[in-house]
Each structure stands twice: as structure tokens, then as C-alpha cells.
Structure 1
Amino acid sequence: MSKAKGAAKVAGVVGSPIAQSLSPVMHGAWIRAAGLDAVYAPFETTPGGFSSFIQGLRRASLLGLNITAPFKGQAARLADIRSQEVSLTGSANLLLFRGGQIEAHSTDGVGLIWALTTAGLEAPERAVIMGAGGAAAAALPALSRWGVREIIVAARRPSTAGWLRNVAAGVSVAPWEDLPDAVAGAPLLINATPMGLHGSSSPEVPLERMAPGAAVMDMVYRPLETPLLRAARAAGLRPIDGLDMLIGQGRPSFEALFGQPPDVRLDIRALLEQALAETTT
């Protein structure tokens, strides 16, 4: 966290839990590189207390907050002003406090495409997403704009996920048990569920049925190599961790909060990898 020198600009990130978030490390490094008198702090609240926490900040001197699990849907509903992306997906990962009003934005889709292109991918014809929550919803319009023509969402409760078909062109929803058929021949698989977070078990996915050289992305970054990515590597596929997605969504968030883009000369990924190593040993 950067040290403030007086009337500092203050922003942060809120989630539950929040202690292991790398957002304060990332934004703090960008703040120092820019020489800003600013602080980016972590905040934790309970699901039941999130609404009152946010409402209490309406007229505070806070610039805004990044939003992480499990509050992205609540953040979208609490806002007075919603970007087109938030209105479409019902998910917000950035709240800005402006003149007593709350603006909701989403940079998750930008972060996803940043991660995929940083890994050297071009838009495939088809992609499969595991999960039907806010992270998956935010991914759909971004993938469609990128050029993916067919997107299959594997949902545990497909009856309540049908609305995702209206979020972007070419989206279909499949029952979770149909995942083996969905990934057959697929060039891209994205895990948008918490499975794999902190090393928890990932679903059994027949990765051998995917297209040769297919890419498998896990949106989580702790650990960097989840069980799913380890299996993808063993199967000769291209594993993509969630760290570049964090960086990709953080860049426009930083600019929205502090009024200037982060310094691209800073090797932020190396810094975050070091922070991960220090907190997992």
C-alpha cells in the first residue's frame, strides 16, 4: 500500500474474503510508479453487510472500489448509473463514487481478452465456459466482440441460466453433465467457477476430447497452476492462468479511478508472481 501525504486519493477493493487479493499489490505498485498521493486499500464485509457498506460511501471521499467475489451482482444492482456492459450482464467489478451517485462498470471482459491475447491466442470459432455466474456473464459480450461465434455455457442449473443467451450472439446453455460433449473439438475452454481456487478440486473434464493444441484458461490466479491447468499441460494443451486477467481488468480500473493509465514500463506480472510466491511459502 502506498503511503499518503495528506489529502490523498483513496480507492480500494472489496470482497469476502479479501486478504489474499493481489489488487492492492498491483494498484499500489502503479500508484508508486506514477508518484501519486494515493492509497488503494482492501476492504472486507459480509454478504449481508455489503449494501449498507456501499451506501455508507456515497458521500465519502473515496474515489471508488473494485468489486470481487461474491459481490459483483449486488454491486450492479446498487448503482444509480450502469454502463451498457453492466446493464447487459448484471455484473460489476468497479464502482465509482461521483457527486453522491454510484456508477457501475465492468472491466472483467477487457481483462479476459487481455489475458487470451497476451497468451498469443486469436479469436476461435467456438469457446466453452464452465459456470453461469457473474464472471461467465461478463465474459460473453467480450468474447463475442473478439470474434467468437459460438459460446457454450455449461451450467449446473441451466433452467436459471437461460437469460445468458440474450447477453451476446451465439450463446447457448448446456447442462453441466453435457460438458464432455461440449468440449469435444473445442479450441478454447474457460473455467469461470471458483473450482480450483486455493488449490481446491476442479471438475473432471475430458480434455483429451478438445481440439489439438487447444487453450484452457482458469480465471483464478491462486494458485497459478490449478488442477485444471495442470491437467491441461499434461494433455499437451495450452494452459492460461488468471493472473493476466487480473492485470487486464486492473489497467482500465486504475485509469477510471485515478485519471491516468498505469505505467506500462512496470513489469507488473513479475511483481505479482513474486507476491504470490511470498504468500504461498
Structure 2
Amino acid sequence: MLGSPIGHSLSPVLHRAGYRAVGLDWTYDAHEVSSGELPAFLTRLDDSWRGLSLTMPLKREALPLAAVVSDVARAAGAANTLVRRDDGTWAADNTDVPGLVAALQERWPSPVERAVILGGGATAASALLALATTGCREFTLAVRDPGRAADTLEVAERLADPVDVRIVGLGDDAAADLVVSTIPADAQTPELLAAYAAVPVVFDVVYDPWPTPLVAANGNRVVVTGLDLLVHQAALQFTMFTGLPAPLREMRDAGRTALA
């Protein structure tokens, strides 16, 4: 697992639990890698490395370093996964997008027609792309600075089927079936909570601290958790790395135990 900061990540817990469950004597560790340091890190790796998980600020920096880029990663403009190819080069992929879909549909199988996404970074872009693949066509991006939404807007513009995207400030009212929060818990102000109190489904990608203010504000709503997303995207990575079906239950249980 590469990124910065990285010490809080649950990914090592999930992947190690998966390896134990299927009897693989593999390792999975967290490495602090800051912006601009990924090329040098990759050159130091030998053939024993099967793959890498990436978090910020490396998701966009990984794309030009890969020999092959999946359609999903290209559409998202970001990769959270690098898999070593037989020739020693890397293939870039994005499991955040299908992981978002799987996590949402596990908790809320009904269609989503209108969504509010809080934040405009790489995870927000993946959320928009994921929801668009399920048929959602109306999006509101709520951001502090409209300039921060540029990358997410580019993702929307690359979609084969057009979507309607509106930019508002954080805490501005917006009618929706679903609110997806990609912002830190400490950015979830009382004004923001009030603005989205009537939205029936909340998907908060944060998993620590939990519950976030957005989730705690109304306990009667359907909630999709950051752990749900983390488990599903990690399960997809697990299969890419090992070629084996992921032991989803064991990975989720390990994550719950670690958070508890």
C-alpha cells in the first residue's frame, strides 16, 4: 500500500486476512510514498512484487507509469491498483469504481437517479463514474472551491452517455436520492448536515472516525460505509494479485475487528 499519509490505512489488515484465509504466505505492507516519489519506488522493486495498492496523492501519478491502463482507470483519470505484468512492466486499474458500485448495491439495490457528491477529488470522480454506470444521470458536486471540481467534471465530460452536473457550495441545498461524502469528518459542518438531512441514502467513504457527523445526524437512513467500499475494492485487488476469489467475509471481519 503506497501513499501519504498512509499510517491510518486498513488495507494491510484486509489483504493479510485474505491471504491467511486462502493459505497464502504473502506479505502486504504500507509504505509512505509522497507525490513525485512513485517512479523511484517502482524501480527498486523486484519480481517478487505482484501488485500495489495506491492512495492519494499517487492515483493520478500512476497512470503515465503503466504500460497498460484499463478502460475504467482511464475513464476515472486515476488508478488505485498496479499489477506487475510478465515482462516486468505495470498494468494500472481502478477498483474504486466497481467497488463503489458493489458496496452501494449491497446496501441499496434500488436505482439512483439523482446524487449529491461532497468533494471534487479523485474519489469524487470515481463516485460519479460508478453511479453513472448504474444509470444515474443527475449529479450535484458540492465543493468549497469550484476549481477543485475540475478533474471530476472532466470525468463527466468523457462519459459516452451524457450526465447533468451542477456545482454548488458545501452545504447548499440539493434534492437527491443519495449523498456520497468524500470529505473528512471535520469538514461536515452543522450547516452541511442540515442541507442533506432529507436525503434517504448516505454513502460516506470515511471509515475512521466512525460514525461521521453526516451518518450520526440521522440514524434512520440507509448507510453505506467506508469499510464497505474498502472491503469491496480490496477484494477486487486481491483477485487481481492472486488470481483467486477473495474471501470477502474474512476480510470484512478483519476490518471490523481492527476498527473496534
What TM-score results when the alignment is normalised by the length of structure 2?
0.88
Q: Is the 8 A contact 2:95 2:236 kept in 1?
A: yes
TM-aligned CA deviation for residue 94 of structure 1: 0.2
Quick check: 1:176 aligned with 2:164? no
Q: Unaligned stretches of 5+ in structure 2?
A: none
Q: Is the 8 A contact 1:129 1:192 kept in 2?
A: yes
Q: Is the 8 A contact 1:141 1:167 kept in 2?
A: no
Per-residue CA shift, 1:232-269, capped at 9, x if unaligned?
Answer: 43xx43333200000110111000001111124x3432
Per-residue CA shift, 1:66-90, capped at 9, x if unaligned?
Answer: 1112211111232221111111121
- Partner residue, 1:8: none
Q: Is the 8 A contact 1:187 1:210 kept in 2?
A: no
- Partner residue, 2:222: 238
Greater relative contact order (Cα < 8 A, sep 6+) = 2
Quick check: 1:163 aligned with 2:146? no
- Partner residue, 2:51: 64
SS of 1:41 mapped into structure 2: coil
SS of 2:217 mapped into structure 1: helix
Quick check: 1:92 aligned with 2:89? no
Per-residue CA shift, 1:167-193, capped at 9, x if unaligned?
Answer: 43314140325x523x2x311000123
Question: 1:210–1:133: structure 2 CA closer, same or farther, 3 Å change rule?
Answer: closer
Match of 1:154 among 101, 126, 142: 142
- Partner residue, 1:130: 118
Q: Is the 8 A contact 2:34 2:57 kept in 1?
A: no
Quick check: 1:44 aligned with 2:32? yes
Question: 1:255–1:171: structure 2 CA closer, same or farther, 3 Å change rule?
Answer: farther
Let me know the Cα RMSD of the aligned residues.
2.2
TM-aligned CA deviation for residue 207 of structure 1: 4.6
Q: Is the 8 A contact 1:224 1:242 kept in 2?
A: no
The sequence identity of aligned pairs, in percent, is: 35
Match of 2:206 among 220, 240, 256: 220
Distance 1:131 1:201 in 2: 10
What TM-score results when the alignment is normalised by the length of structure 1?
0.82
Aligned residues: 254
Q: Unaligned stretches of 5+ in structure 1?
A: 1-12
Per-residue CA shift, 1:190-226, capped at 9, x if unaligned?
Answer: 0123x11xxx342445555558561111111112311
Question: 1:176–1:212: structure 2 CA closer, same or farther, 3 Å change rule?
Answer: closer
